[in-house]
Each structure stands twice: as C-alpha cells, then as structure tokens.
Structure 1
Amino acid sequence: MNASTNRLSSSMRSLFCLILAAASLQAVAQSPDRAAAIALEQRGRTVEAELAWHSIAASDPGNAEAFAHLGLLASRQEHYADAIASYNKALVLAPNMPGLQMNLGLVLFKANQFPAAIKNFSALLSLHPDAATVNHLTILLGMAHFGMGDYLVAIPYLERSAANDPQSLTLRLTLAHSCLWSKQYDCVLSVYKQILALNADSAEADMIAGEALDEKGDDSGAIGQFRAATHANPSEPNAHFGLGYLLWKQQHFDEAAVEFEAELNINPTQGQARAYLADSLVEINQFEKARPDLEQLVAAPNSSAMVHRDLGIVYGETGHPEDAMKQLQQAILLDPSYVSAHWRLAKIYQATGNKALAKSEFEIVSTMKQQSSRPLTQQLDTTPSSQHP
C-alpha cells in the first residue's frame, strides 16, 4: 500500500498502451519523406524516426501529423513532457485529428497529471463516441480518479467498467480497493463475492475483505480472511504481517510472532514486521531474543515510540535500569500520550528509589486514557505506531 499511482496494475497499464497504439492519426497525402519516417517508426528505429519527423516539422511548421508522431514516439520512450508538448502543438494545428486527443489524455495519465487527463477524457466522453470508446474512457476516468486518490468518485466509473467486463479480475480488485480506501466497507464485501466467482484463491481479495471486516469491528472475520490469504498464497506480500497484526491486537502474541517471522522470511526488509515481532517477543518475556532487533530498530531514522518502549522494558528486565530510563524517556518524547511508557518509566523510577519521579509518572498515568490499536488498513500504509497497551 504504496502511493496510489503505484497501485495501478501492470494489466491496466497494458490496456492503456493498447488504446494508445490503436488510436489512429489523421491521414494525409503520401510523400517520400513521410513514407520514410513511417517506415522507420514501424521498424522500431525510434531515434531515426524522430529525426525524420523533426525534419518534416522544421520544413513545414504547420504539419500537425509530424507533431502527432513526435508525441507518439516520445510517449513510447516515456518522455512524457515532450510528448505532451508535441501533442498540444498538433492539437492547435488540427484539433479534430482522429485519436489525437485520446493520445494526449493517455500521456497526461501516464505522467500522473490526473486532473488534466480527467478533463481530457470527460471532453471526449461528451462527444458521444461509439460503445467501445465509451468503455475505454469509463475505465480511464475511473483509474485517473483512483490514481489521484479520489476513490469515492472512482467507484461509479469502475462499477460500470466491471459490469461491462464480467471476466475482469483486475477491474474488480481496483474497485474493491477504491471501496476500502473510501470507507465503503459493504461495497468491498459485495465486490469480494464477485472476485471469488472469478478466482476463489485470490489472496489479494482475501486481504481486502479482511481489512474491511477489521474496520467493521469483526475481529474473527478479519482473522479468518487473512488466514485464507496466507493459505491461498503463502508468499503474498503483507498477508502474514496482516494476520500477525490482527492476532497481536487480540493479544495472541505467540501466534502473532509466528506470522511476523513468516513475513520476514518473505521480505527481510519489512520494518513493521520486525518491530511487531520484537514487541510480541517482549510481551511473552523473550527479552534476549527481542534485544538485537530492538537495538537495531531504535538506531534507525524515524524510529517509533513502541520500539524505544520495548527496548526500555528489555533493559529494565535484564538489569540495566539507566539504559531503560533513557529508552522510555525517548518513547515519551516521541509520543507524550504513550500510557504504557509512562507506567514503565514510573516502575523503573520506583525500583531505583526515585520516589518523587515515580509519583509524578504515576500521576500522569492516572489522568490518561488507554490507547487503542489502529485499524489494519492504516498499519499497512504507515510505520509502526506507538499505540500499544
């Protein structure tokens, strides 16, 4: 659960490429230079084709086709700024050139210029094109809104697109994500049923449904969905972490530790899995096993209050009260509302004879509310929280 623009699947991007390739350009009278440029383009000799079209554009600045082909060639090389500039020049010269506005919209989409792409696609849709083009534009509008994080607006476009393509698993997964991230949890579960009809072993779908159930407060249902995900695909990224976190929230620390370890076997760089594994080990009093990871985690940039608290506990339980104080104080500095860190620090002060400081910390604890754990949806997108009992 990266930035939304990275959530677009490869199959959807392939669709955009097919639409781009299929878009026609205005036919003009054949000339030797034009024929040579097209031949180079068709043979994949992109640099030479660009030079040929540049030469045509230089000798005939009003040649819209030359700029259109330059836009197409630039887009194929992912030189989107150049492609947009060339397509805009072509549009000024020939605003009604077939396929040109569609190609511009696709390049704007690929350049993550979603508002401009949406404006372009909406204008094309208002021209009442044929049914196939309407379907393409509906998908593109849904994905553009999805790409800019406007998930609620994306839903009706994606619903229509999915209805027009009953066999598309990709569209339904994207729709399910849009429903999840716009907090439409019943929508998620409805789409999940459609996905199961297409692929009963979709680990990704199981995870999305599990996140929705977690948001709805159905703990056992969420755990069941994540167990299904790990069975469907034991190597699915974040499936074991998600299951581990749900078990951790229920204080099933032994089981949670097993899942966090499984996640780390798949992805050793999964920092959240390492942090929550260490925390689970602390909760089951395996202090020395947790210590190496915690010492590494607290030294990392943007370390969380939770790992400092946990290392403070480890130091306190293994006879290093001064080090424990430092770690607990750092946890409180990072999160002044961290009840458990205050309570642990009070106990350390009490054990070392700092009665006044212990009393002060206990008084702070008495005025604070116990924090609740965050939903899994937030955990899958962020660093470990300090919200731990």
Structure 2
Amino acid sequence: MLLAVLVLFQLGPLFERAAQALQSGDYEAAERDLIQARKLAPSNAAVLANLGVVYSKTERYGKAIEAYQAALKAKPGDPRLLINLGLAHLKQEDYRAALPLFRQVPTTQARELEAGCLIFMGEPRKAIAMLEGLASAEPGALYLLGLAQMRAGETGKGQRTLDQLLTRAVSPAQAEYLIGKAMLESEYFEQAVEVLSRAVHRDPNLVEARLELAKANVSLRRNDEAETLLKEVLAARPSDVEAHYYLGALYAQLDREAEALPHLDKVLAAKPGFWGVHYYYGRLHAAARRYKQALPFLEAAAKLNPDEMSVWYQLTRTAKALGMDGRSKEALANYERLRKANMAPDSNKPAEKM
C-alpha cells in the first residue's frame, strides 16, 4: 500500500509536467518525462496514450503504434485510442490494419476515415455510399467524396464535388490545395500541377501544397522541379518524413545512392512498417548488385504491400541473381498476375506513392 502511494506521489508531477510540455510543443521534454512515468506505471493508459501522441507528433509511427496498442490493453475499446492507433497505421499506408479500428468508433470522423481507407484499398464506390450518407459539407469530407468519385470513373461528378471546396475551404489556396491533391491521387498529374502551382502562388507558406506539387512532378518525371520543391519543403520542415521519403526515392530512382540513403534512413526510423522505404533500400542494393542485402528488404516490402508490381519485379530479378529459381518464379507469377489485373504495360513501374 505504501509503495502504491509512493508511485502515485511520483507519477503525478511527472505526468503533469509531461502534459504541459506536450501542450507547448516541447516533445523532447514530454517524452523524457513520460518514459520515466512509464517506468513507474508500465500499464497506465494515460501515460502510454500520451507517449503515443509524442511519437506521432514527431513522426515515429512505429513506436506510436506500439504505445497505442499497449494503452488499449489497459483501456480496451477507448474511442480516442482506436482513432489514434488507426491514424498511425494510415501514416504507414497500412489501410487494412486501420480499417477495423475505425469501424469500432461510432462517430462521423471515424466514418470519414473508414471511407478514406476504402478509397485507397480500391473500393471507391463503397466510400461514395458512405460519404453521401454523411451529407457533410466539411472540406475534408468533400475532398474524400470528390476523390472517391474520380477514382470510380465519375470524373465530371468528382470535379463538381471538388469545386464546392472553393466556397467551403478556409481560403482559396487551401481549396486549390485540396483539389490538386485529389487530382494527384486520381493520377491526373498535369491538372494537379496546374492547380497546386496556383495554390503555392496564392500562399507561398502553404508547405503542404508545395509537397503535393513536388509529388506531382515526381510522377511526371520532372526530376529537377521535384528536387527543388522537396528541398524547399525540408528547409521549412526539416523533419518532414514524407518529404524525406520522396527525395530519397527520387535519388534512388536516379541511382544517386549516397544522396538517397540519409533520407531513407530517417524514414525507416520513423516508419518501419512502411513498404516503400524497404522497397527503395532493396532497389538500391540490387542496382549495386548487392543481392544478398537487397533480398530481405524486398521480401519485407512484398509482405507489407503484396499488391505493388514494382516490388515483385525487383524481387524476381534479385532472387534469380541469387540462384533462387523457385522464389524468382513465384515473384514473377505475382508480377504477371498484377500486371494483367491492372492491364498495365509490361514495365518496371516505380513505386511513387507514400
């Protein structure tokens, strides 16, 4: 009993100090105090949840997932924990892990997040039915509905939905950013560049628009423009994991390994469950004929995202180079299956999406 009182006596000030640091944006101090608090109370849901927030805020999503999962063991079914855990999975493009978490929460926010998962899992019509049922005029919901409609082939309807953002969003620049982002996600790259360029011109400080514009230029193989924009994003936000990923991926595609690795290292530390970073490590090793080093990265990428053609292409070549003919044939069969399903040309399509 005395020990429990002593723990509570020590835990209270630590937790309060961590909460204040978290609120003020001092994540280093918050993490330090929360780690000490966790040593005193390893199963305290509030401590674990706030530790998850710190890791999410500092873009260390693998650690955030571990913290939220531990918090849910102490507090099963907590809606906020379920949402936060789902969001951490989304940051690693693990939509299948996020979807059942959102489905457990009976809120409009959870339905919108569920619809977002469905869109990126290739089920836009289910997302449309869900979003239309919400009848929400919020910019985020309109963005998702427009994106779902465009991905379902309803281009005109999607454009009309997205046009509503011009009167609903916070600013014209914000509206054009969301419209351009939807264009990019729907693979209308030229249109995305046009709209996002306007957003950046309207508001040069809208870093999100600059990042999406960089991604559109990557897709169009406008490498110099993309590199410049990504460097500008990182100058404004040095710890932006998505910008590090796209710049590292761009350098990897250009076989500039020495420049790619520092960026990819940052991504791997933050998002160990993200398939793309494993793919590019594997691709770089394979390009340098370091096939033994390439293999585990490519196998990890294939496990994390079995629907990505470029992973199976690289795995086919790498396994063949290592004399693993059986594995090479399996990988090639998966590549051919996806190529036929997508009716895509027989080419090594690079992984570009994060």
TM normalised by structure 1 equals 0.47
Aligned to 1:337: 307
> Unpaired segments of 5 or more residues in structure 2?
1-79, 81-106, 113-129, 147-157, 343-349
Instruction: Tell me whether 1:179 sits opposite 2:149 in the alignment.
Output: no
SS at match of 2:339: coil
Question: Structure 1 pair 335/151, CA: closer, same or farther in 2 (3 Å)?
Answer: closer
Pick from 222, 231, 251: which aligns with 1:252? 222
1: distance between equivalents of 2:340 and 2:218? 16
SS at match of 1:238: helix
SS at match of 2:239: coil
Pick from 276, 296, 300: which aligns with 2:266? 296
Aligned length: 214
2: distance between equivalents of 1:191 and 1:334? 34
SS at match of 1:367: helix
Name the amino acid aligned to 2:193: I
Question: Structure 1 pair 309/155, CA: closer, same or farther in 2 (3 Å)?
Answer: same
Instruction: Tell me whether 1:263 sits opposite 2:237 in the alignment.
Output: no
Aligned to 2:67: none
2: distance between equivalents of 1:299 and 1:146? 29
Aligned to 2:279: 309
Name the amino acid aligned to 1:189: D
Instruction: Tell me whether 1:189 sits opposite 2:163 in the alignment.
Output: yes
2: distance between equivalents of 1:155 and 1:227? 30
2: distance between equivalents of 1:347 and 1:148? 42
1: distance between equivalents of 2:335 and 2:249? 21
Name the amino acid aligned to 1:269: S
Aligned to 1:359: 329
C-alpha deviation, 1:361, in angstroms: 2.4
Pick from 270, 291, 294: which aligns with 1:321? 291
2: distance between equivalents of 1:233 and 1:281? 28
1: distance between equivalents of 2:134 and 2:336? 46
> Unpaired segments of 5 or more residues in structure 1?
1-111, 113-143, 159-173, 373-384
2: distance between equivalents of 1:215 and 1:311? 24
Question: Structure 1 pair 279/229, CA: closer, same or farther in 2 (3 Å)?
Answer: same
SS at match of 1:235: coil
Q: Which has the higher helix share?
A: 2
> Would you say the 8 A contact 1:239–1:263 is kept in 2?
no
C-alpha deviation, 1:325, in angstroms: 1.0
Deviations 1:112-158 (A, max 9, x none): 9xxxxxxxxxxxxxxxxxxxxxxxxxxxxxxx9789859757768x6
Aligned to 1:221: 191
Aligned to 1:235: 205
Deviations 1:31-80 (A, max 9, x none): xxxxxxxxxxxxxxxxxxxxxxxxxxxxxxxxxxxxxxxxxxxxxxxxxx
Question: Structure 1 pair 357/147, CA: closer, same or farther in 2 (3 Å)?
Answer: closer
Deviations 1:271-320 (A, max 9, x none): 11211211111112212210122233224344311110101111222342
SS at match of 2:207: coil
C-alpha deviation, 1:254, in angstroms: 3.6
> Would you say the 8 A contact 2:244–2:266 is kept in 1?
no
2: distance between equivalents of 1:182 and 1:358? 40
1: distance between equivalents of 2:341 and 2:238? 29
TM normalised by structure 2 equals 0.51
2: distance between equivalents of 1:238 and 1:293? 19
C-alpha deviation, 1:243, in angstroms: 0.7
Deviations 1:210-242 (A, max 9, x none): 234446664322211111122222221311111
Rg larger in structure: 1
Question: Structure 1 pair 330/258, CA: closer, same or farther in 2 (3 Å)?
Answer: same
> Would you say the 8 A contact 1:304–1:334 is kept in 2?
yes
SS at match of 2:221: coil
> Would you say the 8 A contact 2:211–2:243 is kept in 1?
yes
Aligned to 2:248: 278
> Would you say the 8 A contact 1:311–1:327 is kept in 2?
yes
2: distance between equivalents of 1:326 and 1:333? 11
> Would you say the 8 A contact 2:292–2:322 is kept in 1?
no
C-alpha deviation, 1:386, in angstroms: 6.2
Name the amino acid aligned to 1:181: L
2: distance between equivalents of 1:339 and 1:234? 36
RMSD: 3.6
Aligned to 1:91: none
1: distance between equivalents of 2:110 and 2:165? 20
C-alpha deviation, 1:270, in angstroms: 1.8
C-alpha deviation, 1:186, in angstroms: 0.7
2: distance between equivalents of 1:336 and 1:362? 12
> Would you say the 8 A contact 1:346–1:361 is kept in 2?
yes
